[in-house]
A and B are shown apart, each in its own frame.
Chain A
Amino acid sequence: MIKAKRKPLEELFDLTKGFQRILCVGCGGCTSVCLAGGQRETQMLKTDLSQLFRENGKSAHISVFVIERQCSPEYISDIEDMIKDYGCVISAACGAGVQLLAERYRSKPVFPALNTMFVGLDRSTGLYQERCRTCGDCQLGYTGGICPVTCCSKSLFNGPCGGTNINGSCEVSRETPCAWNEIYERLKMQNRVENILSIHPPMDWTDKGPGTLIQSGYESRYIKK
């Protein structure tokens, strides 16, 4: 799932200090699960921001509302009636949720409360690790289920480089395991070590603008011939 982290409070204050009425909108989706933008976190944001306003000799009326999923048009209409009473919106969703809110309510400034960090896994409560950069060309089938784009410090598609330390760590940091060493060990364990020898063409990282995904079976609905 998407993982996010709250922005520094000072940054949020700087963005919103000119407004008298602020609506903090939480998200019941991914940012709730990663303990960054759910009901409780949005209420905490309201408390912290109100305190900072007071400390700076300003006052603002801050309200909280949580939309079940800010990346879905069906749910963001929940604030349609209330948004007109506020000068700006702080969205505690991922970047996609912030943009959908800003697109729907164009006349209102919508500020992000969070920094969207990565697609990651839950190691423990409040502890997440990046595992996917949504590159759009998944290599995990060839690499023993270890992502070279995310886990290799150089995001090498064909590795390892010459910088693997003797203990299997990366030359960038001895604390960081060499992803390609791990890939080799995993493939060896699975008797698939020949996979590491096949050369994969470089990823096309050129900027193509925002991507659109149409699932198989839905083409006729969205693609006009």
Chain B
Amino acid sequence: MNSINTDTAAMNRIADILDKKRDMIKLSLSACVHCSICSESCFKFNSNKKDPTYTPAYKVINSIGRIYKKKGKLSDSEYDKIKILIWDKCVLCMRCYCPLGISIPSLIACARSVCREKGFYRTYDETADGPEI
């Protein structure tokens, strides 16, 4: 298991982000009844053979849910997995529908903010050699 990077400045910023969104995260996580209705409105779920890891609720619970419960103290490999969930498996199209009114995009965006502070974010030239300098 990878070690947990506890860069103090980054952890403080993460704590700030989680603190500001605490009420929304807490309420959303407790309100989700795992009905999976949100999956029907997710085009990524529908276009990936209904793979359950594309279910919006799954993405929320396993990204910001994990981050919130562990106060951002996750290993790099865990952040890597979260990065795949919230960037590769979600495009923030904001079409996901929750009958209970949970704002799934806001939660994913919050998870992205935390990941950015930890230095995990999607780069769009990952497979290329990078810019010529």
Contacts and interface: CB of A to CB of B under 8 A. Distances in A.
A33 B116 contact: no
Contacts of A124: 128
A75 B105 CA distance: 9
B26 interface: no
A103 B103 CA distance: 24
B47 interface: no
A66 B94 contact: no
Interface string A63-102: 0001011001011001001000000000000000000000
Nearest to A40: B123
A33 B125 CA distance: 9
A126 B128 contact: yes
A33 B124 contact: yes
Interface stretch (B31-39, B51-59, B68-76, B106-114): B106-114
Contact of A68 (B20, B109, B123, B127): B109
A39 B128 contact: no
24 contacts: A28-B92, A32-B122, A32-B124, A33-B124, A35-B125, A35-B131, A38-B121, A38-B123, A38-B124, A39-B116, A40-B121, A66-B116, A68-B92, A68-B109, A68-B113, A69-B92, A74-B105, A74-B106, A75-B109, A81-B20, A125-B124, A125-B127, A125-B128, A126-B125
Interface of A: 28, 32-35, 38-40, 66, 68-69, 72, 74-75, 78, 81, 124-126
